[in-house]
A = this chain, B = another copy of it.
């Protein structure tokens, strides 16, 4: 009979393999690394996971992560209540915060429309977005900060129709050349959009 890892190690490798971006090889490598750490890294990671498993949920209002009943995104009092930025994932909030450019509030959809993966408008946090930006709200601009892939574009188009209301402006992020990217590295679609959206200087 072939020699194999103990059951507990095999179970760990199986679980690690499911993580996005972790293949069978990486899973084994991570498991061995965790076991070899004398600082008890496996126990610490186990504890961090258990805590997240128990304490973290999605805010029913804005869709961001909520810890022990309080949503930091909703609680932030110093944000501009007239601008709402719509993103697909909670991580997108952090990416935008890092730019330091945006001072308004966020709304996390929890994904983008994708008929192939059976993601319909009902699966996303869209009704609540319409409520937050609807009549009687302070919101005057909704910024759609979704990806420029097919799903992101489809979701943006759908939201433009849903959000239409007097006095509400719907904008989307600019498309064009990425920072530091030369003309020769840009694909034709990016270059086409950069041309279409050109600005006078």
**A interface residues with partner B (beta carbon < 8 Å):** 1-9, 11-12, 15-16, 18-22, 26, 28-36, 40-53, 55-56, 58, 64-68, 72-73, 76, 78, 89-91, 93-94, 97-98, 100, 106, 110
Contacts and interface: CB of A to CB of B under 8 A. Distances in A.
Given A11-B48, A12-B52, A51-B11, A6 B66 contact: yes
Contact of A21 (B9, B30, B45): B30
Contacts of A42: 49-50, 52-53
Given A15-B41, A43-B53, 7 more contacts: A6-B66, A8-B52, A8-B55, A21-B22, A21-B26, A43-B49, A46-B53
Contacts of A97: 2-4
Given A4-B97, A49-B34, A67-B9, A91 B29 contact: yes
